[in-house]
Structure 1
Amino acid sequence: MQREKEMWQTPQTLQQLLCKVVSWESRTGTQGEIDFSYKIKEELMKLTYFKHQPDYIQFVDAGKQRNTVTALYKHPQATRTIVLISHFDTVHTAEFGDLGDLAFQPESLTAAFKENDVALPQDAKIDLYTDEYLFGRGTMDMKMGLCLHMQLLEKASLHNWPINLLLVTVPDEEVNSAGMRAAATALNQLRDQWQLHYDLFLNSEPSFSQVPQDDNYYIYSGTIGKIMPAALFYGRETHAGEPLNGLTGHYMASYLTKAMEFNACFEESAFGEKTPRPICLQQKDLKVDYSAQTSHHSAALYNVFLFEQNAAQVMATFKEIATEAMAACQRDYENICKATNVTPIGTIRVMTYDALLQYANETLGEKKVQMIKNTGLNNTNDERDQAIQICDQLLLHCSELAPATILFFAPPYYPAVNSSENTFIQEKIALAKATLADTYKVTAKQIHYFNGICDLSYVNYDANDQGWHVYQQNTPVWGESYDIPFTDMQQLQAPVLNIGPFGKDAHKISERLHKKSAFIYTPHVLETVIKSMF
């Protein structure tokens, strides 16, 4: 019997696959992202295994015409299953300038940089001339991870591995993770459909630098969380010539932003690692046009990283900080009024979105409130702006509450996940480190929380946590344009692990992939880890 021809099992053919997959540009929010799922299905269908069992490849609707792709290799006697997770969207490429046409052509781009390397930083120039790196958007983050998983599917089908592999590759990881949020629900359905038992969620995001010029190789036993507490500052308008007859949103915002940025109250430590401190990601004026009328409403979004905190704890801390900040704002404002013999316009309220919504429903009626929310939703397509607009529109119709600061959550939310204390994961990390050291003289280090944000956040959610209800109640766009399947995530109770190729400078013009790590080292490590589960 003639042996089936291998497609992606050598370093050379794996590099060819990567270059093909990268060439299918799939920037988040573009037609390329929509088309990619069909192209990857077509590529997977070249495997004899899927030609005979095409129903093992399925699409999951991720919204906006995008699809998550699942592809199952199923051994007839196996129930143990490894879920291979990747994302196929990339960030945009404006920074490539005149080289934009080559951003998705790794070999051509690498050659072009050798002709003219002026756009590259010095460390990237050094790497360029070693011939050890392949440049291009998506090479590192993270189409190589997807290609590694495709290689594993092929090898499992060729050699009849006695385990199940479920490839899950998703769109939209770079913005809202709509693809993985949809996948969380689908994973439960697929488990029941095919009688699977999930033993491991294995991502292959690349090894990210911890600091600039970091050449260490990392294996990750968890992923950092991210949540975005936000605030609408709604004061009172006035003429610029009579400033103390009103209160600007900017004046109010300055107090909370100063209190939030770098605030140690949110800093967490675990396994010798620390979360970065909060910072303001966006502060915006909601006044539409210029005039001598003051801007009485503005908004700010704050980035908070997480290890163990849940949404309820974050909101409690945020409200405490905001209450103190607005009290300071009130004191300073009243002192100015007193010094200038002006009567203050009122006292600043601090309210959660949940409290505002309850007040609006009682005052205006639920039907009217839904119409107001729809106005906010229809004003923009961006989920963060929609959340701001809903709060702003509600305050417009409940202006008796002003001046007020409304506290809410804006998307996205990535819960932290960690499996560092799981004995199974400890064994697999030790095996991976030994394989790299013994075979390739590569020293790998364990990081307990992947610092780049990844889709592992949507599996293995704490089955006992109820803090997510506070997120649901205080996210204005919940159930409208954004939600998270927490109950489905709580059913996905297998440990997480991230083993991917080494690369540098994700999201930069100098994004590059270490070729030996990608095409030789990591394939061997992944195969060794998986075979150890037979």
Structure 2
Amino acid sequence: MVQLRWGTPEKLRALLCELVSWESRTLTEGEITFPYKVQEKLGDLDFFKKNPANLSLHEVDMGRHFVHAFYKHPEADETIVLISHFDTVQTEEYGDLEMLAFQPEQLTKKLLDRKDDLPEEARIDLESGNYLFGRGTMDMKMGLALHMALIEKASIEKWPVNLLLLTVPDEEVNSAGMRAAVKELVALRDKYRLSYKMFLNSEPSFSQKPGDETHYIYSGTMGKIMPAALFYGKETHVGEPLKGMTANYMASFLTQLMEWNTSFLESDFSEKTPLPVSLQQKDLKLQYSTQTPYRAAALYNVFIMKRSAGEIMDIFEKVAEEAAIRCNESYKALCIRERIEGVGEVQVLRYEKLLSYAVGKFGANLVEQIKGEVQANGDWDEREKSLRIVEKLMIQCQELAPAIVLLFAPPYYPAVNTSSDPLVIESVKLLKETAQLFNEEISQVHYFNGLCDLSYVQYKDESDGWTAFEKNTPVWGDSYSIPFADMLKLQAPVLNVGPFGKDAHQRTERLHIDSAFIHTPLMLEVLIKSMIKVKDAH
């Protein structure tokens, strides 16, 4: 009988600690080298020694790659896709223990010497001995470890199903890895004539509130979109303030209306989206001067369940128009009081309208030149580039000012939900029954309350609502894109089953040991075998 490398809780724990030790913070060298190490690790399995073409790296961007490891049974076409991400957030919050952030065993022991410095809940968990601390233990290298163990076991026991392991970079920033992987999923489906049965992620179970110890599984994931605005006023000297209009003044009206605006609220299965808030608001002056700030920008976070980008832009435009009315009324009262003519009324226009105006005014070549100059700035991310493209176009079209230009800034995560799918209903019931074997209660959440790469499969849009995103995202097609057409081809139910943990993205990030190394491996194996009706080899 072949011995499994990762078939016991102890071996699985060792695998996790090795994966965590390969630090892979987003946009670092570690994120670039990590997939090569995973490929080498999986390449030691007999199946991939015999089928090396089934294990490969695929380019994403900036030297980053995703890994696809394909266990293919000769008589199966039904395929379960195992999705994970291997990048983690940064580690500055660990302070002088930062060097141990990627050494879970050492960090957990060291924290015992400093337990009084921890929040009470984290201290209690540490003292219990039931948790392993460290960056990436929970979010989400344990998910990858679980999938590697599944691939190994399936290949040795020759389960009559196909398992496609997909682990990607960049989930924590723009999901560039998953967006790139979508095309490979379609290509593999067509090449091998596969039937995708389920997209199975293993993001961890997140608590719904402080002190929550419930283990959740998720039958969907919430979406996120980021409407943004460029405010363009009229410059003046601070000594002559009435000759201009600051962009900050204009921005204050829209931000007041956007914060916690219930127009964006959605509910489904008795769950609600968090209300929108501003993620950033700033003027775009690059240095201090006594010239008033006449260009400013704001980014707003909006969570979605069923609405498309087109619907969000329509709501955003109505809110912005109301903000402009209030701004103009306030400004008109000022002009009457000060007996001045003023600089004009603030208008609202979408980026697509500004772009069309600019092309008509000075031609497509100059517009592309402006975009190219912005894209060439390596210090700006996709959000900054989006704002700067609009800013530079407005500088060339100042006759449109004062104006609020509406746009979308990356990233965009479409919402996905398959709670009503018969396979999902059966799977959730089975997982709850399995959890009772170890006296654990599992609850279903219909929308994962963190962002998740499942957003890029099982996409549905009957009204081409995505075109509003394409037309109003300044960096679209250059440094950011979403494969909407290919996403439409990946129609299979989604489910997220991962280990229980706490405090993702905090210095107290930790993983529940029994959940990770005993309970969740069993639940995943039972789940997959139920879908393929595999009898235990023993």
What TM-score comes out, normalization by structure 1 length?
A: 0.99
Correspondence 1:27-426 to 2 at 5 A: 27-379=25-377, 380-426=379-425
SS at match of 2:531: coil
- The secondary structure found in structure 2 opposite 1:210 is coil
2:535 maps to which residue? Answer: none
Partner of 1:502: 500
Q: Look up the SS of the partner of 1:318 in the other structure.
A: helix
The alpha-carbon deviation at position 261 of structure 1 amounts to: 0.4
Distance 1:211 1:178 in 2: 30
Shift of 1:465: 4.2
Q: Distance in 1 between matches of 2:212 and 2:362?
A: 57
Contact 1:232 1:299 in 2 (8 A): yes
1:434 and 2:433 correspond: yes
CA distance in 1, matches of 2:430, 2:461: 29
3-state SS in 2 of match to 1:211 = coil
Q: Which runs of 5+ in 1 are unaligned?
A: none
Deviations 1:391-429 (A, max 9, x none): 000001111111111000000000000001111100000
How far apart, in 1, do the equivalents of 2:124 and 2:403 lie?
Answer: 54
Which residue identity is paired with 1:185? Answer: K
1:73 positional shift: 0.4
Cα offset, 1:118, TM superposition: 4.1
* Structure 2 contact 39–57 (Cα < 8 Å) conserved: no
**Deviation of 1:464 (Å):** 2.6
Deviation at 1:291, TM superposition (A): 1.1
Identity %: 56
**Residues 236, 243 of structure 2: 8 Å contact kept:** yes
CA distances 1:117-169 after superposition (whole Å, capped 9, x unpaired): 24421100000010000000000000000000000000001100000000000
Structure 2 unaligned segments of length 5 or more: list them. Answer: 533-538
- Tell me the secondary structure at the aligned position of residue 342 of structure 2: coil
Q: Read off the aligned partner of 2:112 and give its amino acid letter.
A: K
C-alpha distance after superposition, 1:462-501 (max 9, x if no partner): 0534100110000000001000000000000000000000
**CA shift at 1:5, angstroms?**
2.6
CA contact (8 A) 1:24 1:32 kept: yes
For the residues of structure 1 that align with 2:328 and 2:166, how far apart are their CA atoms? 52
Q: CA deviation at 1:329?
A: 0.5
Task: Give CA deviations for 1:169-205 in whole Å, capped at 9, x if unaligned.
Answer: 0000000000000011110001112221101000000
User: 1:385, 1:263 → 2: CA distance?
Assistant: 24
Q: Residues of 2 paired with 1:524 and 1:124: CA distance?
A: 27
Partner SS state of residue 61, structure 2: coil
> Which stretch shows the higher mean deviation, 453-462 or 51-60?
51-60
Residues 239, 293 of structure 1: 8 Å contact kept: yes
Residue equivalent to 1:493:
491
Q: What is the deviation of 1:381?
A: 3.2
CA distance in 2, matches of 1:166, 1:466: 30
- Contact in 1 for aligned 2:435/2:523 (Cα 8 Å): yes
Greater mean alpha carbon deviation, residues 225-234 or residues 377-386: 377-386
Cα distance in structure 1, aligned partners of 2:58 and 2:212? 37
Is the 2:121–2:211 contact (alpha carbons within 8 Å) kept by the matching residues of 1?
yes
1:444 aligns with: 442
Q: Spell out, residue by residue over 1:363-385, the C-alpha distance to the aligned partner (whole angstroms, 9 max, x if none).
A: 01000111111222223430000
Q: For 1:188-247, what per-residue CA distance to the aligned partner results, in whole angstroms no more than 9, with x for missing partners?
A: 001112221101000000000111111111010000000000000000000111111101
CA RMSD of aligned residues (A): 0.8
Tell me the amino acid that sits aligned with residue 425 of structure 2: Q
Asked if the contact 1:120–1:509 (Cα under 8 Å) also holds between the matched residues in 2, the reply is no
Amino acid of the structure 1 residue aligned with 2:262? A
Cα displacement (A) at 1:100 = 0.5
Three-state SS of the structure 2 residue aligned to 1:313 is helix
Provide, for residues 410-450 of structure 1, a one-character-per-residue CA deviation record: whole Å limited to 9, x for no partner.
Answer: 0000000000111110000000011001x111000000000
Check conservation: 2:285, 2:293, Cα contact below 8 A: yes
One-letter amino acid of the counterpart of residue 273, structure 1: E
CA offset digits 1:232-266 (Å, max 9, x no partner): 00000001111111011100000000000000000
CA distance in 1, matches of 2:369, 2:332: 37
Shift of 1:4: 2.6
Aligned with 1:28: secondary structure?
coil
User: Deviation digits for residues 348-376 of structure 1, max 9, x if unmatched?
Assistant: 11010000000000001000111111222
Partner SS for 1:104: coil
Q: Helix, strand or coil for the counterpart of 1:415?
A: coil
| SS of match in other structure, 1:532 | helix
Other structure's SS at 2:391 match = helix
Is the 2:308–2:461 Cα contact (8 Å) retained in structure 1?
no
**Counterpart secondary structure, 2:298:** strand
Partners in 2 of 1:123 and 1:9 — Cα distance? 32
